[in-house]
Amino acid sequence: MMASQEEQLVLTGMLGDVMRESAQAALSYVRSNAARLGIAPTAFDGKTIHVHVPAGAIPKDGPSAGVTIMTAIASLATGRLVRGDVAMTGEITLRGKVLPVGGIKEKVLAAHRAGIASLILPQHNQRDVEDVPAELRGTLTFTFVTMAMEVLEHALLPFGEKASALGTADLRSEGSVDRLAAQRLQAPERHPVPRDEGDAR
């Protein structure tokens, strides 16, 4: 987050339109819930937030990184570190609902290969975890969520607590949590998305 003449969100890493909109929704959610998160009302005033998703030469799209970007922005604004031993995926709405995404099996396998044993997934994707081999499922911990605040409760460390040795999660350093978004496979978003009438995106 950098001082600037006007408030803006900069997104880099060869992102498609859907992923860009997802990042905008993530920022809007954090801003609209600043009081609940203990963020000063003026924290974003005159600031530029730059979100870079690594592997910049590889095109990326889809809403799956919504909760990850939201967690990164919340960490930056609150000063609370993100756990270094957790991976997450899920679409986020402006109201903070976490919606299902595709490619759960592939994403779980990718997290396992990266040494991550704790995963935060949309509640509506719980059935998809059954596609993961049983012997692998037994070594992993799954947290299924329906709302963004649940994601933050599980992903953010208490104030002053340091991240695990598995990975530094200080979002003010290059890399950190949004590197996990780059690791996800570009699987099609196959699942129907349940939405309430009037649910803003």
Asked, for residue 144, whether it belongs to a domain, the answer is yes
Asked, for residue 198, whether it belongs to a domain, the answer is no
pLDDT in tens, 82-110: 999 999 999 999 999 999 999 999 999 99
Dist. CA 2–CA 53, nearest whole Å: 18
Active site positions, annotated? 64, 107
Give the angle 99-104-110 at the CA atoms, nearest 5°.
130
Number of compact structural domains in the chain: 1
Which residues on adjacent β-strands are paired with residue 145? 122
Asked, for residue 105, whether it belongs to a domain, the answer is yes
Give the angle 96-169-147 at the CA atoms, nearest 5°.
15
Asked, for residue 194, whether it belongs to a domain, the answer is no
What is the amino acid identity at position 197? E
Torsion of CA 140, 97, 125, 141, to 10 degrees: 10
Asked, for residue 193, whether it belongs to a domain, the answer is no
Asked, for residue 201, whether it belongs to a domain, the answer is no
- Using DSSP, state whether 180 is helix, strand or coil: helix
Range from 143-152, 173-182, 185-194 that averages highest in pLDDT = 143-152
Name the residue range of residue 92's domain: 2-183
Asked, for residue 79, whether it belongs to a domain, the answer is yes
Is there a contact between 27 and 49 (Cβ–Cβ < 8 Å)?
yes
CATH (domain of 151): 3.30.230.10
Asked, for residue 64, whether it belongs to a domain, the answer is yes
Question: pTM (2 decimals)?
Answer: 0.78
pLDDT in tens, 120-153: 999 999 999 999 999 999 999 999 999 999 999 9
